[in-house]
A and B are shown apart, each in its own frame.
Chain A
Amino acid sequence: MINLLKNEITKVIKKKSFLIMVIVMFGYALLTNIIYLTLSNVDEVEFAQNVASTIDDDNLDPETKAYNEALKETYDLAQKYEKSSWQYNYVITYDYDNLETIHLYEASQLFDSKIYNEAKEKHEKIVSLLKEDDWKSVVKIEMDELKEAFEEGDYTKEEYDIKLECLKMRLDQNISYANSYQNDNLINYEESKISLLGYANVDKLDAGDKEFYQERRETYLTSEYALKHNLNITSEISLQSVLMNFFDEFMLMIIIMVFMIAGSIMSNEYNNGTIKLLLVRPYSRIKILLSKYITVLICILIAILIMVIAELLIGGVTLGFSSLSNPALYYNAKLDTLQTYNIFAYLGLNIIGQLPNLIILATLAFAISTIFSNTALAIIMGFVGQFVGSLFSTFATSDIWWIKYIISLNWNWTPYLFKSTPSIEGMSFIFSFVICLIFLLAMIIPTFLIFKHKDIVNV
């Protein structure tokens, strides 16, 4: 039996199509990473585009004109500094508000108002601090202003506390306004924490609101963790983040490879007549078919492994290996906690979670290949299975009572492995396991019975 298995694996690996597929996988990984690398170099053009779109036109109403002028002045001021500097980022995100106020009030000729004067005063102070490159003093100005606003009743106590906490964090952890991941973390943290204040009674939320709530909890918990551990999680382009989304990126390649092998392993023997060579050996047909099936299962692992290696090598070279030391964060919506994993443990759990999906589709292709000895049909049916399956999982709602018996809602075990919620309420690991097993046996048993009694006719 071991020797049969050895022969089957040799046959698969020595085929030219296998080599070509490996090259395609590496090529695909290279392409994906180059696209990421190119995307990460694209400058933020949005602001400049806004400015460019403002047209000088005397027919505009005064208010719009004021907005346009505020934008222009902000842009001109920001342009004095490097794009990576804190000055640039501060001007376009914070000082713009001051300039807007100034221009609006000027347009309305309200030069005496308190708000106008305050804004003007603040703007002037900031301009001088920008020149002196002193962002810490800017933080202090923001603090003073925050306090005033709170005393005037603009903020609740909770909002004030959060905003103050964040400003203090800037000083304590030395997070300038410059565009950096820590700056992003801080902004995300502040925004999500404030928005969470709006949820008083979580248990009474309906399904849609609960989803929003969970999203905010996730942002809050991850940004809090990232801030604390100085982690770059907002930037999407790192080897670690690509590995975290491994199956989103590379499932297609793995599926193609698996279907190619599972769909041809039996039909090739028929079509080349070698099935006769194989069946006149001192092994029962069951053993011969079993060795082929086990080979298919092994090839699923091989396909995943090749893809992981391809991404590790190519992603490492293009995006750098350093991000691998960062922990992978997983928000568990069921327990409302943040779970941290080593990136390889995280990837490993994802691979195990996706295995039932791959095994069931590979078995489908294998069964068709064995019964109809038609490679093309086997591969196409595999893809049809995947497509229909993903359709069901996309539109699945718990309103339909039978939906949880659909195989594609049960063949991804990742949520169970992360101890999180399944896609439909009322499902459990045992439930999914049994459904998967039933589908699997429903394909395997007829395949073996048919093959056992099959007449090998002329080819």
Chain B
Amino acid sequence: MNCVKMVAMEDFMSILKCEKICKSFGKKEVLKDVTFEVNEGDILGFIGPNGAGKTTTIKLILGLQKITAGEVTINGFDIKKDFVKAIERVGAIVENPDLYMYLTGRENLKMIARLYHDIDAKRIEEVIAISGLGNRIDDNVSKYSLGMRQRLGIAAALLHRPNLLILDEPTNGLDPEGIRELRDLLTKLAREEKMGILVSSHNLSELESFCNQICIIKNGMIIDKTSLIDLKKEVSNSKYILELDHIDGLKDIIDYSYDEISPTQISINIEREKIPELIKTLIANDYLLYQIVEDKASLEDAFLRKTGGNIID
């Protein structure tokens, strides 16, 4: 509770505030006291397993569904009472990049442009460049792949220069190159245009590379809100993989337990802070160290530990 009050004092930089929002369909409660906020320059990863309530939360924020209890404030405007003003500077993709299939990419953008008063032809060209669709922009959307639609959807969401961008599962259908481009784009928007970004996903490792905040939701409740660094710290007793020229006699010089993966690789349980010490020891004993990497599965494990056993009911 104290925390909420403190945030209220820093109102000037808060773009999206969700306060104790609840949603029930009939007697079934699908969201319970969801509270979080997105500030200028934040990229908040909204993570949870399927059916946890990610899309419902986003729909409540966007006014697509009625909030049973609680408040959503965007740029200081209540979404229930001041819908038009609240939604004016929001760009969003919900579930899928839904576009008019029988129109071309450009026609889709033009239709959206008409609904805001300050979008000129130049801006449309700008977002076409962002989408990277090139000449294909004049093809019917029905001919696009899911990845291309995702790119166009993001371009369309950026068209009216929003300061809050809400992307629901934007990595769906994107290839690794596309994900990298999306990451670069979002970090650039957050850094240069001070945009607040909310990105949802069920896949932590995809978001890991570009979120600075993580919010984990399970069974309609927020179970953890933390920065990514903290989350990593939390799982820092996890595993690291070492690649050496050989592993003979390793048992005699290190105190940590490890598993042999191959004649040159071991998986070791070690705290992050202890790694430099380990490296020194290895070098002192004439081992050639090729690489040391954090075992990615461990972050995923931590996430699964937190969210595991989500019951979809």
Residues of A within 8 A of B (CB): 3-4, 6-7, 10-11, 14-16, 272-274, 276-277, 279-284, 453, 455-459
Contact = CB atoms under 8 A, between A and B. Distances in A.
Nearest to A272: B98
List 4 A-B pairs, minimum CB-CB distance, nearest first: A273-B98, A456-B64, A455-B65, A3-B114
Contact of A458 (B55, B92, B107, B115): B55
Nearest to B55: A458
A281 B65 CA distance: 15
A273 B95 contact: yes
Contacts of A16: 102
A455 B66 contact: yes
Interface string B71-108: 00000000000011101101010111011111100010
B173 interface: no
A279 B90 CA distance: 12
Nearest to B94: A276
Contact of A282 (B59, B66, B115): B115
Contacts of B115: 3-4, 7, 281-283
The secondary-structure label for the interface of chain B is loop
Interface string B8-39: 00000000000000000100000000000000
A3 B116 CA distance: 9
Given A4-B115, A16-B102, 12 more contacts: A3-B115, A6-B114, A11-B100, A11-B103, A276-B62, A276-B98, A280-B64, A282-B85, A282-B87, A282-B88, A284-B83, A455-B25
A456 B114 contact: no
B63 interface: yes
A15 B59 contact: no
Contacts of B69: none
Given A3-B114, A283-B84, A283-B115, A458 B66 contact: no
6 contacts: A11-B100, A16-B102, A274-B99, A279-B62, A281-B115, A455-B65
A284 B64 CA distance: 12
A276 B93 CA distance: 8
A16 B87 CA distance: 32
A14 B95 contact: no
Nearest to A11: B100
Contact of A14 (B59, B88, B90, B102): B102
Q: Which of A14, A16, A276, A280 has the most CB of B within 10 A?
A: A280
Contacts of B95: 273, 276, 458-459
A282 B84 contact: yes
A455 B64 contact: yes
Nearest to A277: B98
B60 to A, nearest CB: 10
Contact of A453 (B66, B96, B107, B111): B66
Given A10-B111, A458-B55, A280 B96 contact: no
Given A14-B107, A282-B84, A456-B65, A277 B114 contact: no
B114 A280 contact: no
A284 B84 contact: yes
A132 to B, nearest CB: 74
Contacts of B116: 281-282
Contacts of A282: 84-85, 87-88, 115-116
